[in-house]
Amino acid sequence: MTPSTHLLAYLPSPTTAQIKLGPFPIRFYALAIIAGIVVAVWLGERRWRARGGEPNIITDISIWAVPFGLVGGRLYHVVTDYELYFTSGRDWVRMFYIWDGGLGIWGAIALGAVGAWIGARRRGVKLPPIADSIAPGIIFAQALGRWGNWFNNELYGDPTSKPWGLTIHCTDADRNATPCSGIPGTTTVAGHFQPTFLYESIWDLLIGFLVIWADRRFKLGHGRVFALYVLGYTLGRGWIEHLRSDYAHVVLGLRINDWASILVGLTALLYLVISARRHPGRETAEELYWPHFQPYQPGAAAAAAKTEGKGEGDDGVPVEDDAAANDGEQRGEEPERDDARRAEAAPGAAARGGESGGS
């Protein structure tokens, strides 16, 4: 195998992480995150409605959950990798450059859950069935978001000579390929490394489909779909983290994200066991809502359309009926006398009706 043929066997990477529309840069990392959010909301909406929930609930809750999740993800990254922003020679302002990469999934999940809880409470729905509805969409969003790391030439593993090794370029501050030695005309290829971003993206897709299958097969509910997603993801993140070569804090021989995966994964497993014992089966459509909120009824909108224009008075009687009664009172007719006259006239009317029918 010639060197040029061998080079073609490696996985390529983009030489730029952005395109420009006039003076405005469009970062591919941001587009990957946005695409993931769209998929998560779309799939979550479909799953929520399939459970009997009211349309547009997931969309409304995402208005709270997405900003909280982005802030939480960035905070987790900055806190766990503070030396990238607050040590000598570093520019702390870059902590706000989300488009450069750096969103910690555990921070995004934790603070995103707070935002989802706020949105859910405002709409009168319970958080566990919301979490079950959006769980597959979240991990599919993670699978898409990892491709932002591919555009940024980041999150790779150790050097490798395998055919699926990832070509990594030296890049400047704008994530454009630049000569590695700083001298024009030299190579921009830093080397070929384990494509850990690709491993995690594939793993996320597999877990997403597994969660959907398990939910259909076992009718999971009460937050167990979300817990299964977390458990499956942590199992993959554990071994993928060992392949990564980017800097990370190490505690007792393990990277901090390994410890996070272990603790979160065990918590998810414990929740699965306890929840299955306490709440077997799945919630009904009425159980999706808090008791003090009116449960969503799919046929209510059609029934309301039939009675459009017929309001109700303070006593619950249709307005048109109230108007007719008031009209009679204005003519000096009392409802009780009207009823008596109808009762007196009824025998004669019945007799006339019998004569007519007999002829």
Mean pLDDT of 184-211: 93
Rg (Cα) of the chain, in Å, rounded?
32
**Which is more confident, 69 or 103?**
69
Q: pTM surpassing 0.75? A: yes
Label the pairing between strands 250-251 and 189-193.
unpaired
The answer on pLDDT for 194 being more than 90 is: yes
Q: Which residues contact 196 (CB under 8 A, 6 or more apart)?
A: 155, 156, 157, 240, 243, 244
The answer on pLDDT for 73 being more than 90 is: yes
- Picking from 44-48, 238-242, 280-284, which range would have the lowest pLDDT averaged per residue? 238-242
Could you tell me which of 75, 68, 77, 70 has the C-alpha nearest to residue 34? 70
Percent of the chain residues past pLDDT 70, beyond the cut: 79
Confidence of residue 297 (pLDDT cuts 50, 70, 90): low
**Which is more confident, 246 or 166?**
166
- Mean of per-residue pLDDT scores for the chain: 83
Per-residue pLDDT at 4: 42
Binning the chain into helix, strand and coil, the percentages to the nearest 5 are: 60, 10, 30
Q: Which residues contact 291 (CB under 8 A, 6 or more apart)?
A: none
The answer on pLDDT for 270 being more than 60 is: yes
User: Does residue 156 contact residue 187 with C-beta atoms inside 8 Å?
Assistant: no
Distance in angstroms (rounded) separating the CA atoms of residues 172 and 178: 6
Distance in angstroms (rounded) separating the CA atoms of residues 196 and 239: 10
| Residue 169, token pair as written in the block | 């370029």
Expressed in angstroms, the distance from the first to the final Cα of the chain is 110
The answer on pLDDT for 247 being more than 80 is: no
Confidence of residue 348 (pLDDT cuts 50, 70, 90): very low
The answer on pLDDT for 218 being more than 70 is: yes
The answer on pLDDT for 315 being more than 80 is: no
